[in-house]
Amino acid sequence: MIKKKNWTKLMLVAACAAVITTGCAQGKNTPAPNNAAPPPSQQPAKPGENNESNIAPNPKDNNEDKKVVKKTVTLYFSDKDLMENFAVDREIEAEEEANLPLAALESWISGPKNEKLGNLVPPGVLVEYVKEENGVAQVSFSKELKNANLGSGGEMFLLEQITMIMKQFGYDSTQILIEGEKEESLLGHVTTSEPLKAGDPSQYKKLEE
């Protein structure tokens, strides 16, 4: 039989253990204060502060890898009195070397910078494509090229300029096309249904831009 004193001690010990257990449980379940700071990874960035989430991509970064091919080519223009064609050096650029012939023709279409020279190409002309076929340059222009208001001499100069520009890219002959098709004559004075041969570049006088 448990004595009364011993029974009282046991009751006290049990009561103390219950109090301690309840206190520990409450400590674990107590929520954190509302004003507690979130972990550093969850804290919002301050205005102007650089981090991975608020750095906008730089548009220039996308263009840094793009390279262009630059080349000095010879373009041909006539004097304003249509007496002769002259050679003019000009730097052009293209996305790749294969596109340089087309870029040269587009620069030619834009006209000369020298005031002594004239542009025989009418407004609105586009170079549709340049390709090679059996060693002959196939150059297709938009139909606006047929709007050139030129006589027989002017038409000859115009065609000569095209063939001479293409010669420096390794084409001794050029077939001129309108929207991909052969024309019996571009302006009615010179036959263009067959490839036209280029002349000798050394026979042309050079002028500065």
**CB-based contacts of 206: which residues, under 8 Å, 6+ apart?**
86, 87, 88, 89
Mean pLDDT for 5-20 is: 48
Q: Does 88 fall in a domain?
A: yes
In the chain, which ranges are continuous DSSP H helix? 4-29, 59-63, 100-109, 152-167
Q: What is the mean pLDDT of the chain?
A: 82
pLDDT at position 204 is 98
Which residue's entry shows tokens 């929520």? Answer: 31
Residue 24 lies in a domain: no
Owning domain of residue 188: 69-200
pLDDT of residue 150: 96
The model's pTM:
0.70
Residue 182: inside a domain: yes
- 15, part of any domain: no
Q: What is the Cα Rg of the chain in Å?
A: 42
The residue count of the chain comes to 209
Average pLDDT over residues 41-54: 51
What are the tokens at 17? 């253990």
Question: Is residue 42 in some structural domain?
Answer: no
- CA pair distance 66, 160, nearest whole angstrom: 35
Q: How confident is the model over 91-139, as pLDDT tens digits?
A: 999 999 999 999 999 999 999 999 999 999 999 999 999 999 999 999 9
State the pLDDT confidence band at 4, using cuts at 50, 70 and 90: very low
Task: Give CA–CA dist 182/162, Å, rounded.
Answer: 15
Percentage of the chain with pLDDT > 90?
Answer: 67
**How confident is the model over 146-166, as pLDDT tens digits?**
999 999 999 999 999 999 999
Per-residue confidence band for 67, with pLDDT thresholds at 50, 70 and 90: confident
Within-domain flag for 155: yes
Q: What does the pLDDT read at residue 151?
A: 96
CA distance 167 to 158: 15
Domain-located, residue 51: no
With a pLDDT cut of 70, the percent of the chain lying above it is: 69
The pLDDT of residue 28: 46
What is the mean predicted confidence (pLDDT) over 38-49?
52
Number of domains in the chain: 1
Does position 145 have pLDDT exceeding 60, yes or no? Answer: yes
